[in-house]
Structure 1
Amino acid sequence: MGNPVYEDCIDILEKEQLKIGIIGLGDYIRGKETSLKNLLKEAQHKGCNIAICACRYNSPKTAILEAVKAYPDHLLVHKTLSTGRANDRIVNVADATSLLSHI
């Protein structure tokens, strides 16, 4: 899943009894399938013990921050802003590396 244009991703890693949701498209406030709130709910519904996501939570996107804070245990990892399409893959790999470092 994810936006292939921006190479965003959502995936679930499983090891032994642990399920980790990885969400790399936390920029979206609205949308039945793409809002961070709904993606976090989906990860929870699929049995994830934890979900890690990269997102921009600067104003005016306070709905994103509220979606994350709805979960008692959360860690905010600020998403790197891309300077253009040519840079999207570079910043997404950097964000993925940062996200994985929290596991």
Structure 2
Amino acid sequence: MTRSVVVRRLLALDEAGTLQTVHVRIAAQMAGVNVRTMWRWLAVAKESGRVGTRTAAGWVRVHGCVVGPAGGVGREREGVARWMTEHADQVLSSLGRDRLPSLTTLHEAVH
């Protein structure tokens, strides 16, 4: 099952006042993620209203601001992350965000 489907169902149970730990455990197993991940997804959905994953549109901007200048770094993701940290002001203004993406997020975006 996809993240959005599972999280929407858990939110419905939570709104009805019937959400239990067993529901989260089953949903995590069905989604193929850790139970803590499922609780985190649910917390993010409650807090922000976002039930799915990030859209690719944000990563198009990461691509545009990083690939050209960081091209000398090569394909090494850790190198790109280092470059982004060293040039944080430039990258953050290009992204329109207040913090840099984590290395894990960078790995997922490249993948």
TM over 0.5: no
**Structure in which a larger fraction of residues adopt strand:** 1
What's the TM-score once normalised by structure 1's chain length? 0.28
**Structure in which a larger fraction of residues adopt helix:** 2
* Larger Rg over CA atoms: 2
Higher RCO (Cα < 8 Å, 6 or more apart): 1
